[in-house]
Amino acid sequence: MNRLLLLGGYGFIGGNIANKAQGKMDVVIGGRHQHPGLKSFPYRPFDITNRDDVLEAMDEVKPEYVINAAAISNIDLAEHDRELAWNVNVSGAQYLAEECRRHDIAYLYFSSDAVFDGKGGSYKEEDTPNPLNYYGKTKAEAEREVLSTWNRSVVVRISLVLGYPVTSGNAFYLSLEKHLKNGDKVAFSTEEYRTPVDVLTLAESVLELSENDFYGIIHIGSTHSINRYELAWKVAVAMGFDPVLIKPKKGEMSPNRAPRHRNGIINVEKAQSVLKTEMLDIDATIQRSIDER
């Protein structure tokens, strides 16, 4: 089996990729800390913000493919700790691209619809980035660095990922479920649109990309977009809760919140043509993310 070095393997997306890859690839998880929930996978301590550590780890692990799911993905944290966000999201991504080029192996990097300002819609891979927040800026810059550094790189842009973490990570479902069980009212924006993908379809798409010869930028998401309020309402119903607790909200959720792009509407036609993995509609996306918990 090909050896996969997976950075960020203990996060929400990475943990699901590791589980899906088990038995198909020889997965080695790299990160600063090992998580007890995935002890069946070999672990290599790894600091992607340290160029020498990246070089040594790559020479030691000798992977045939690298997936970088490590990121400072909390938009507000990235806004307030810009040095950390840059070091992880940009410098770390570039160091890995350089090492993948040196070893002549393919590299997959996760980016975001936050590279766009959200004033348009149905963004295609070729559209020009214009981020509103610092997180988006780090992702846009990392895309440029990765693709210019190594021509066997894949940049996967995602909008919003639905589902449950295998170990840990920032998962919208866990927070929503907790509030609904407690009987808390929760408000979601009617003005922010996203193009969700369930984490299992995402993991399958990424593993398929590791086996084909596609390189460049690709958008992975559902076939339609939805605003956050309608999405939360549908998810609550699918979870078996009364959606009466889901309330609509306009404008910014908090004055301390970093600016968000309103239209995270990404076009997935390229994914539909490149991949055998099916891009699902909104309802199927929600249902799958809950059914396969």
Residues (pLDDT < 70) of the chain are 168-170, 251-255
Task: Enumerate the active-site residues.
Answer: 135
| Domain range list for the chain | 3-163+196-223+266-291
Separation of alpha carbons 221 and 8, rounded Å = 20
Separation of alpha carbons 260 and 66, rounded Å = 30
Query: Strands 226-227 and 193-194: what pairing?
Result: antiparallel
Q: What confidence score (pLDDT) does residue 171 get?
A: 74
Separation of alpha carbons 1 and 23, rounded Å = 9
Does the 3-163+196-223+266-291 domain belong in CATH 3.40.50.720?
Answer: yes
Q: What is the pLDDT of residues 47-78, one digit of tens each?
A: 999 999 999 999 999 999 999 999 999 999 99
Q: What confidence score (pLDDT) does residue 252 get?
A: 58
CA dihedral sign of residues 111, 113, 116, 122: positive
Residue at 164: amino acid letter: Y
The answer to whether the beta carbons of residues 60 and 3 sit under 8 Å apart is no
Q: What is the pLDDT of residues 220-266, one digit of tens each?
A: 999 999 999 999 999 999 999 999 999 999 865 566 788 889 999 99
Range list of H helices, the chain: 12-21, 51-61, 75-80, 82-86, 92-103, 134-149, 172-182, 199-209, 228-239, 269-274, 282-291
